[in-house]
Amino acid sequence: MSNGHTISLGYHREFKHFKTAVDDGILLAGFDYSGKSVNVLNVESMTEWQKIVRLAGETAAIKGVVLMSLKEGNFCAGADLEQMHDAQRRRSFHEMEQLVITTHRLFDAMERSPKPFLAAVEGVCVGGGLELVLACHTRMASTHPRTSFSLPEVRLGILPGFGGTQRLPRLIGLLRPWKWSRQGRRSSHGRRCGWALSRGWSPPLRPVPGL
C-alpha cells in the first residue's frame, strides 16, 4: 500500500491478529488473523480491535486510522462461523449475544470518533467484514480482481447483525441495499453498488514497510 517512498515509523505495537504502526500521525492497522487463511470477526479479533480503537482515541499524536488487510485476496470473511457453531453446540447463546452487543458498541464508537477511520479494502469483504467497513468514516477499494462486497449470510437465513442493515441504506439509499441484502448479491469494481460503497478505487495495494 506504499507509494514507493520510504515510510518512517514512529510507533509500533504487536497484537496477535493485527500489526500496527504509526506514520506521520496515522495509525496503520493491518488485519492478519493468526492461524487462519482469512480474517474473521470473533471474540479475540474484536477484543484486539477494541484496544486499537481505544488507543487511537486516547493518543493525542494519532490523528486518524487506516484499516487494511495483510492477507492476499481477503479483507475480511465476516463472523467466525466455527466459533458461532461451537457456541451453538455448547448452547452458549449468551456468549453469542455478548459478541453482538460488544461489536455494536465498538462500531458505534468508531462511527462517533472525532478521528477519521478509513478502510483500505483489497480482496473479499463480506458479512461482518462489510459491516466493519461501513462503520468507518470512509472507504477506498483496490481494483484487485478479488475485491468485492456482499452480505452472503442472508442466503443462510441470517440477518446482518452488526449494524449493516442501518448503515448500508444511509450510504447507498434504501432500494439497492434491500435487493442486495435480500439476495446476498456481490458487488465489485465497475458495479454501481461497489462504486457507491467506496470513495474511490485504486490500483492493487502494495505492502507497507513495518507491517
- Tell me whether residue 79 is one of the annotated catalytic residues: yes
DSSP line for 45-78: HHHHHHHHHHHHHH-TT--EEEEEE-BTTEEE--
Grid look-up 456468549 returns 95
**Pick the catalytic residue: 30, 123, 131, 135?**
131
**Pick the catalytic residue: 153, 161, 163, 164?**
153
Q: Is 20 helix (H, G, I), strand (E, B) or coil?
A: strand
- Tell me whether residue 131 is one of the annotated catalytic residues: yes
- Tell me whether residue 153 is one of the annotated catalytic residues: yes
Largest Cα span, the chain: 52
**Pick the catalytic residue: 21, 79, 120, 135?**
79
Catalytic residues: 79, 128, 131, 153
